[in-house]
Amino acid sequence: MKTLLKYAAALLAVAMALAPIYWLVTISLKREIDQFASPPLWLGFTPTFRHYAGIFVHDAFGRYFLNSVIVSTGSTMIAIGLGLPAAYGLVRFRWPRDWARGISFWILSNRMLPPIVTIVPLFLMLRQVRLLNSLIGLILADTGLNLPFVIWMMRGFIEDLPREIEEAALLDGESRMGVLLRIVLPLVRPGLAATAVFCLIVAWNEFLFALILSQTQTAMTVPVGIAGHVTQYEIQWGAMSAAGVVAMLPVLIFAAAAQRYFVRGLSLGAIKG
Amino acid sequence: MSAWQMTAVREMRKTRRIPPGLIWVAPALLVLATLSIYPLLYLIKVSLTDIHGFTIAHYARLFHDRSFGVAVGQTLLYASVALTLEFLLGLALALLVDSLARGRALIRVGILAPMLLPPVVAAVIWRLIYNPEFGVLNGMLRQLGFNTANLTWTSGRLTAMLSVILVDVWEWTPFFFLLLGAGLQAIPAEPIEAARVDGAGYWRTLMDVIMPLLKPTILLALLLRSMDLLRIFDQIFILTQGGPGSATETISLYIYRTAFRFSNFGYAAAMSFIALMITMLAARGLMRVMKLR
Amino acid sequence: MAGRRPAPLLLSILLLAGCSRDAADKSLTIAVNAGVEGSTLKAAAHEWGELRSTRVDVVELPYANLFEKESLDLQSRTGAYDVIMLDDPWFPKLVAEGGLTQLPREPDGDFLASCLAVCRHPFGSKTFYALPYVGNSQLFFYRKDLFEKYKLGAPDRWENVLRAARTIGEREKIYGYVMRAAPGNPAVADFMPLLWAFGGDIFDARGQPNVASTEAIEALRFMIELGKSAPPGYAGFNADEVSAHLLQGTAAMSINWPAWIAAMDDPSKSKVPDKIEFAPMPSARAPGVAELGAWLLAVPVASSHRDAAFDFIYWATDARQMMQAAERGNPPTRRSVFQSPDLVKKFRAFPAQLAALEAARPRPRTPQWNEIENAFGVSLSQANSGAISPEVAMQQANREIADILDRNK
């Protein structure tokens, strides 16, 4: 009996977590009259794909999607390209006094900067180098978000590796860079992959930078496109919900891929669970 | 000497003053410095400037700006209520799911879903749900016989903050659920067994054995989440844009409005600096906790 | 994964990112309001683009965000937009920073004087920095069928409006009145006609804030009284809630904008087609005056396609284009269009609109209007939601407006 109650409670929790998402999906598939039906229609409505067609044809949503893909992948790759060597450098080299720790914590503190603090200087900086309203500018801004995370996470993963293998390679005459690329990298690949996924998710979901640093469709990303549908006079429910569904699918897929390292990523490496 | 030590000595001899690892770290540090140190310096400069030149007027204004005080208060209110609810619910769920025999993985996936969404999407979902005329929340309440005439959720002065907090709770309880769940799993079985053998009941075991062992994880989770709560922006922007009036205006939103609607960049910069100091306090606490690990 | 060969992939991504920058020579970027007014300009822009074989990019943004983006663009001279659509209260700020280009030639005399007035800088001079595209002035919407049913006189005075609202509220199962009092622009927009009708104004003759005057407080008290006949929560309403109530037939009267007239008579959107009448603002001790809300078109100084931009805005505001825009639901700014027989037949409210527009008053011409409107609107909304008394609200507002002016001297 007690077990039954427990399962019931657990299922209730799942339902409450998923119901709103389900609702979003149904709104995106409903005709307008059904969207506003009272009492609300949970099932049994005729679906239509008009809203999805609408956002891609009328609203340049395809452009936003492509922009988001470019910005997410670009910033992730740069963050990893810079962050992995940096993590290796911090962990596997000797540093005077407590430098390694100090630098690491300074790097971590960057992750805690509220975006609103850096947005105006960033705007002006990018304007100076004519990178405003450009995807490259956004990639730079998001790299700033992802780089500390990559360094911090990879620090943990590299620390976990036994030194012997690297030592052996060094004895054999391998260069440091060789050790990193040929020995360490394959061993941390799962952790690196998960870190990359986290970076992709962060960049994909990022809103404030994209909102301020973009001025036309050239640089607008998916979250900005969604916000644009929340207009003053009419709430375009069909478009808004279709956009929302399209926006969340990649993230859910990415997340499924990084499941194993969720706890580690969310706790910034503190909990290895 | 091990191969490791030999390499290290070799490298130390090569460059006496400059740490050999610096070259590896330098590019990353350079990028970060450009994207965070320079903006910070710029921020400080702007906060001390107005149309007439150097001034501390912006900081002075902070002290008697009622709206700023309100924003700070509302941010703290939002953060504390959301944190408490998320923690308690997350803990309860973690304990619950931990005690289930089967289906844990599937249930976990289900509960986690809200946390993965872009905050903008979560806000959109709840805007649809909260709509007083056509939203499903009022729709269901009406079906149950309630009069929803006064329940305007995000447009109501009294209900707006509650509505916004609820969205945060829905979205981020999974965070505590996940972290505390991992913490629970890491607890060794012996102390719990020992307590059971001693005849302790469920609550006893929970309070005296499990919670103390869970404390580091709890602390970590609380600190991580509070830092994010203090700088909350995305959801509130979409849900209410800080309204009605400034009922849901947090520090980030007030800074945003000051900078981009009123073009008062100097004042916005001063506020940002203060907001940064507050966040850094929380961050230091977090880092101290992490140093213990 | 990206372990083996990240370089080519990274390079192609960066190339893609770089290529997506606007390089086209013949292109025009237009920033418009995401709403009724903006969609007509959008349609006109695409037509013009085809005529001139120029690529047109339209950026549609919600009202508040449109201002933010335009203000930022003009201030930092980024030249992201070649043509901007702006609400007339934004004009003093955008032009004061030198961000708008002066018109190459004066607008012709067919434009209504009240609409042209807000395009001049300095106010009252002969130099123009924008062309008026949408001529909006508030109208009073009321259910004439219900007025006839209960033998209520025309809503020409605010006292009558109040009485009618109470009567209808009691006898029918609907709200007698509906208004928007969400803090900021909504509250102020619905309050100004009352303020002016009671003889008050935001600034006095010397340009000092004057909202704590007896007339102003009286007007606010009246607004709150009227609010008792409005749906609860109106202190958080925006334009769409107000119109929703009218369209659904759940409220009988409101101040509103002509953009909504078409929807009121459209059976697919409205439950009360042809039952709503449109009249000028009611009077109190001063004659009824509507607030002017014109959408203007201007060319930022930093635009790199200024000639094409001016070509477009003169084209879009000529009589023929404006007739087309009017057919699509945009109130015009040209007298000839308002008086065109075909349109008058189609839009039964045109004569009322023309009269209201000619007499409409613009909001105070100050570059700090955004901040002032915000501060004012917050106090108004607080008073309407009962959080503070009207006196306290107005004194608070007065102080804040004075502070805003002081800071920007």
DSSP readout, A42-62? SS------HHHHHHHHTS-HH
Which residues of chain C lie closer than 8 angstroms to A79, CB-CB?
none
Check which CATH number belongs to the domain holding A98 and give it.
Answer: 1.10.3720.10
CB contact under 8 A, C381 and B262: no
Mean pLDDT for the stretch of residues A127-156: 91
C4 in a domain, yes or no? Answer: no
Query: Of C58, C337, C363, whose CA–CA distance to C189 is shortest?
Result: C363
pLDDT tops 70 at residue C20: no
Q: Do A209 and A76 share a structural domain?
A: yes
The most confident of A106-115, B116-125, C127-136, by mean pLDDT: C127-136
* Contact between chains at B186 and A90 (C-beta distance less than 8 A): no
Q: Are A101 and A12 within one domain?
A: no
Q: Are residues C175 and C225 in the same domain?
A: yes
Question: Does residue A2 sit in the same domain as residue A130?
Answer: no
- CA–CA dist C58, C84 (Å, integer): 10
Whether residues C281 and C380 share a domain: the answer is yes
Q: Compute the average pLDDT of residues B244-261.
A: 88
Among A106-110, B154-158, C381-385, which is the least confidently predicted range? Answer: B154-158
Q: Are B231 and A115 in contact (CB under 8 A)?
A: yes
Q: Is C91 on the interface with B (CB under 8 A)?
A: no
End-to-end Cα spacing for chain A:
31
Two tokens at A64? 């936003």
Question: Which residue among B136, B174, B265 sits closest to A23, beta carbon to beta carbon?
Answer: B136
Residues of chain A positioned with their CB less than 8 A from the CB of B142? 38-39
Under 8 Å between Cβ of B220 and A270: yes
* Dihedral over alpha carbons A127, A131, A132, A134 (to 10 degrees): 180
Based on the fold, state whether residues C257 and C369 are members of the same structural domain.
yes
| Residue A172: count of CB within 10 angstroms of its CB | 10
Report field, pTM of the whole predicted structure over 0.90: no
| Contact check, Cβ <8 Å, C1/A193 | yes
Q: How confident is the model at residue C2 (pLDDT cuts 50, 70, 90)?
A: very low
C268/C202 same-domain check: yes
Residues C85 and C168 in one domain: no
CB contact under 8 A, B111 and A14: yes
Rounded-to-integer distance, Cα B227 and Cα B221, Å: 10
Q: What average pLDDT is seen over chain C?
A: 88
Range of the domain at A156: 59-267
Tell me whether residue B193 is in a domain: yes
Cβ-Cβ contacts under 8 Å between B and C: the total is: 57
Number of structural domains found in chain B:
1
Q: What percentage of chain C has pLDDT greater than the value 90?
A: 56
What local confidence, expressed as pLDDT, does residue A232 receive? 47
Task: Count structural domains, chain C.
Answer: 2
Quick check: B273 and A86 CB within 8 A? Answer: no
Using CA coordinates, name the residue in chain B closest to A250: B117
Mean residue pLDDT across chain A: 86
Min Cα–Cα distance to chain A from B177, Å: 10
Strand ranges in C191-258 using DSSP code E only, listed in sequence order: 253-256
Query: Could you tell me if residue C47 is inside a domain?
Result: yes
Residue B191 belongs to a domain: yes
Return the number of other C-beta atoms located less than 10 Å from residue B202's C-beta.
12
CB contact under 8 A, B116 and A248: yes
Is there a single domain that holds both residue A36 and residue A167? no
Determine, for residues B260 and C68 on separate chains, whether the beta-carbon distance falls below 8 Å: yes
Whether residues A187 and A237 share a domain: the answer is yes
A residues 16..55 contacting C (CB < 8 A): none
* pLDDT score recorded for residue B127: 85
Residue of C10, C11, C13, C237 for testing the chain A interface, max A β-carbons within 10 Å: C13
The verdict on residue C46 lying in a domain is yes
For residue A54, tell me if it sits in a domain.
no
Task: Tell me which chain A residue has its CA closest to the CA of residue C77.
Answer: A127
- B80 compared with A260, residue with greater pLDDT: B80
Q: Is A92 within a domain?
A: yes
Cα–Cα distance, A59 to A54 (Å, whole number): 7
Interface check A167 vs B, CB under 8 A: yes
Residue C308, pLDDT above cutoff 70: yes
Chain A residues closer than 8 Å to C9 by CB: 77
Distance, in Å, from the CA atom of C138 to the CA atom of C280, rounded to the nearest integer, reads 8
Interface check for C385 against chain B (CB to CB < 8 A): the answer is yes
Q: Is residue C218 helix, strand or coil?
A: helix
Average pLDDT of the segment spanning C143-159 = 90
Q: Are residues C235 and C116 in the same domain?
A: no
| Position C355 pLDDT exceeds 70 | yes
The pLDDT confidence band at residue B162, using thresholds 50, 70 and 90, is: very high
A 42-71 → B contacts, CB under 8 A: none
- Token pair 């409220």 is found at C251
C97 shares its domain with C115: yes
Chain segment C26-50, per-residue pLDDT in tens: 889 999 988 778 888 999 999 999 9
Residue C3, in any domain of the structure: no
Burial of A106 (C-beta count, 10 Å sphere; 0-12/13-18/19+):
middle
What residues of B are in contact with residue A40 (Cβ under 8 Å)? 136, 139-140
- pLDDT band at A75, cuts 50/70/90? very high
Give the per-residue pLDDT at C232: 83
CATH number at residue B190: 1.10.3720.10
**Do A69 and A29 sit in the same domain of this protein?**
no
- The closest of B279, B263, C100, B232 to A120, measured between CA atoms, is B263
Q: Looking at residues C121-137, what average pLDDT do you find?
A: 91
- Residue A129 scores a pLDDT above 60: yes
Residue B192: inside a domain? yes
**What value does the mean pLDDT take over residues C186-199?**
93
Q: How many CA atoms lie within 13 A of C397 on its CB side?
A: 33
Chain B CB contacts of A158 under 8 Å are none
How far apart are the C-alpha atoms of A140 and A134, rounded to whole Å? 10
Q: Is residue A53 part of a domain?
A: no
* pLDDT value, residue B1: 59
Question: Whole-angstrom Cα distance, residue B178 to residue C109?
Answer: 70
* C122 Cα to chain B: minimum distance (Å): 21
When CB atoms are compared, the residue of A73, A215, A232 closest to C13 is: A73
What is the pLDDT at residue B10? Answer: 67
Q: Could you give the maximum distance between any two Cα atoms of chain C, in Å?
A: 84
Query: A102 and A23 in one domain?
Result: no
pLDDT interval class at C3 (50, 70, 90): very low
Same domain, C181 and C97: no
Same domain, C321 and C380: no
**CB-defined contacts A:C, below 8 A:** 101
* pLDDT above 70 (res B11): no
Q: Whole-angstrom Cα distance, residue C291 to residue C138?
A: 6
Would A19 be classed as within a structural domain? yes
**Confidence class for position B194, pLDDT limits 50, 70, 90:** confident
Both C275 and C402 in a single domain? yes
C62/A136 Cβ within 8 A: no
Residue A187 reports pLDDT greater than 80: yes
Tokens at C337, concatenated: 């269009």
Picking from B262-266, C197-201, C266-270, which range would have the lowest pLDDT averaged per residue?
C266-270
CB contact under 8 A, B3 and A141: no
| Residue C5 forms part of a structural domain | no
Are C345 and C249 within one domain?
Answer: no
Residue C213 — very low, low, confident or very high, per pLDDT cuts 50/70/90? very high
Residue B145 is part of which domain span?
Answer: 76-240
Pairing status of strand C27-33 against strand C253-256:
unpaired
Q: Which domain holds residue C391?
A: 139-292+364-407
| Nearest residue in chain C measured CA to CA from B131 | C241
Domain count, chain A: 2
A28 and A78 fall within a common domain: no
Position B245 in a domain: no
CA A211 and chain centroid, separation: 16
C244 touching B (Cβ < 8 Å): yes
A257 touches chain C (CB under 8 A): no
- Within-domain flag for C326: yes
Looking at residue A233, what is its pLDDT? 43
What local confidence, expressed as pLDDT, does residue C386 receive? 86
User: Would A233 be classed as within a structural domain?
Assistant: yes
Long-range Cβ contact pairs of C266-273 (< 8 A, separation 24 or more): C270/C246, C271/C247, C272/C143, C272/C145, C272/C246, C272/C247
CB contact under 8 A, C20 and A78: no
Q: What is the pLDDT of residue C60?
A: 87
CATH code at position C30: 3.40.190.10
Q: Is the pLDDT at C118 greater than 90, yes or no?
A: yes
Same domain, A191 and A142: yes
A248-265, pLDDT tens digit by residue?
888 888 887 777 787 888
- For residue A5, the distance in angstroms to the closest alpha carbon of chain C comes to 40
Residues 6+ apart with CB under 8 A from C54: C26, C27, C28, C48, C308
Q: Identify the weakest region by mean pLDDT among A231-245, B21-35, C190-204.
A: A231-245
Same domain, C285 and C373: yes
Does a structural domain hold residue B255?
Answer: no
Residues A65 and A17 in one domain: no
Tens digits of per-residue pLDDT, B135-144?
A: 888 888 888 8
Q: Are residues A168 and A132 in the same domain?
A: yes
